Every structure is written in structure tokens, then in C-alpha cells.
Amino acid sequence: MAEGDAPMTRPSVPEAERLIGVKHPVLSHGFVVLVDYMGNDAAIVQAARVSYGPGTKTIRDDRGLIRYLLRHRHTTPFEMVEFKFLVRLPIYVARQWIRHRTASVNETSYRYSIAPDEFDLPPLESIRKQSARNRQGREEPVAPEVAERFRTDLERVTHDAYAAYLAALEAGVARETARTILPLAYYTQWYWKIDLWNLLHFLSLRLDAHSQEEIRVYAAELAKAVQAVCPIAYEAFDDFVLGSVSLSRKERIATRSLLAGNTPEKACADAGLPLSREDGKPMTTGEGVEFLAKLEGIRKPD
């Protein structure tokens, strides 16, 4: 039977249906809700078979086909699946999130409505020292009194800002002007619609340890919805993207040296991957250090 001749029904995934409309809390006042979805694993296969023809069925089963498509970055069948979420998130997280340009967004406007008095107050354990290695990250805890002080300051400043916001509105200042006094810890809310391929791209960046922990917790909630709607595609993504390690040309040379029985340090030297600076001090960042970190990641069991 040719594609299109078979009767079609709207795909429905029981695990995903149970998620629709359910608020999953994130951070102090945020949430993620799956509002709707279109398609599932079968929609990816259906789209792929249009290009490969009905004969594909005999060559690969559905799981094998999805894994093949993802491995070989045959992207468009994954675009046939769509997700719509309602997300409530602090403005500082929204600023990172909105950089992903391949979604459709409709955001609450504080030109029209009044911002509720809800701001993100990080738990004490999230207030940690600036990372020495990663300029965008944090590392070990700060002293408890430093963390307490930061939380107290954040509460005081945001309460003062909110009081000034309300006073400005009361005095007749336009909402679009008054809102500029609110700090980034305040919450916003949006509908966010995206196709599976671009959502997987978002997840590959925002589940990664290099992303800020506050956006990672949102990404983890989105990932659960993807897993429910397309378990096979998510498994393939987990295997071939999240769980994979890529090697540069120099890293391949270093790996060859390792396979010949050399130490990681010798392998780095063979490949021209620097581990120490000109003054002999060990490097804390750079290609050599990143290669050793990749080896460490491979040694660590999943």
C-alpha cells in the first residue's frame, strides 16, 4: 500500500496524555506544563518512510529507523513532532531561554498586566563560589553566613523594588514604565511551541553541565515530556547525543597514542594538546585539559 492510502488516526500517547495540563514545579515559583503535542515516534517513522519508500519496513524496524535517522542527523522527520508548553520562569532564566530562536513564543506582558510579587530566592546550597576554571559557573559552597547574607539582601532589595513598583502604579505611572524597576529574579510566563528536532537541540545545550543550573532544572522537566511522547527518539538522543563524546583531529591522534599504551600525558604531548603553560605551571583550561576531562568522563560508569 502506498503512503497516504492507509487510514490515518491522530496519534495519542497515554503516558503523554496524562501529563497534559499538569503543573510540574520548578525553582521557587516556576513550573512547566505540557499543554499539547502533535505526533509521536510513529510520526517520525511515517515521515521518513515517505522519503525512503514503503520497502524500508522490511529493512529496519521502527526503533532501528529512528536510531539511524538520529545518528545520521537526518533531521526533518523529527520536525514532524511538536510540543507546546506553558512555562513560568525567572526573567534571568528567560533571557537565556529566549536565545533559542527556533521556537514560537507568546509571553505575558507587564505592559498589560501587573507583575505578581514572586521572585526567585535560591536555596542556600545553590549559593556557591565563583568557579576558578569556568568563568560562567560556580563551584564549592560559600560560608553559610555569606549565603544567608545574599538571600537576605536579595529579599530586601526585591521587596523594596516591588514596593516602589506598586507606588509608581498607584501614582499613575504607566505599567510599561513602572515594570523597569523590577529585578531579574521576578517571574515571567510564556507559551513555548517547538518541534522535536529543535527541542532536542535545546536539551543538548541546556541539560549540559556548562549551562546554568537554574535553566537545567527546566530542561530536565521538558525532557520528561519528550520521553513520554517519543520514548524511542529520546532513547536515541540519550545514546547518540547526550551520551556521546566527539573527538577533534588532535584528540584522535592522542587516542591513537593511548591505544598504543602511552600515558594520557604522553598522548597529549604526541598530539600537541598542551597541558602546561610556558612558565611550566599546569593549565586549568584548554584543549589538553578538556581531552583529559573527556577521558575521565569515559572512565566514569554511567
Task: Tell the smallest beta-carbon distance from residue 100 to ligand FAD (Å).
Answer: 4
With cell 584528540, the residue in question is 251
Active site residue ranges: 206
Amino acid at 122: P
Between 70 and 268, name the residue whose CB sits nearer to ligand FAD.
70
Residues that bind ligand FAD (CB under 6 A): 99-102, 136, 198, 201, 205, 210-211
Q: Number of helices and strands (H, E) in the chain? A: 13, 7
Between 28 and 212, name the residue whose CB sits nearer to ligand FAD.
212
Q: Measuring CA to CA, which residue among 50, 33, 37 is closest to residue 11?
A: 37
Range 45-68 burial, b when 16+ CB lie within 10 A, else e: bbbbbeebeeebeeebebeebbbb
Task: Tell the smallest beta-carbon distance from residue 26 to ligand FAD (Å).
Answer: 18
Task: Tell the smallest beta-carbon distance from residue 186 to ligand FAD (Å).
Answer: 21
Distance separating alpha carbons of residues 78 and 203, to the nearest angstrom: 14
Show the beta-strand stretches assigned E in 148-288: 187-195
What cell was used for 295?
A: 577521558
Q: What angle do the packed helices 287-299 and 249-259 form, to 10 degrees?
A: 50
Between 104 and 276, name the residue whose CB sits nearer to ligand FAD.
104
Answer whether 65's CB lies under 8 Å from 45's CB: yes
Task: Tell the smallest beta-carbon distance from residue 225 to ligand FAD (Å).
Answer: 18
Q: Is the dihedral of CA 203, 207, 210, 211 positive or negative?
A: positive
Answer whether 196's CB lies under 8 Å from 230's CB: yes
Between 38 and 205, name the residue whose CB sits nearer to ligand FAD.
205
Between 99 and 300, name the residue whose CB sits nearer to ligand FAD.
99
Task: Tell the smallest beta-carbon distance from residue 87 to ligand FAD (Å).
Answer: 15
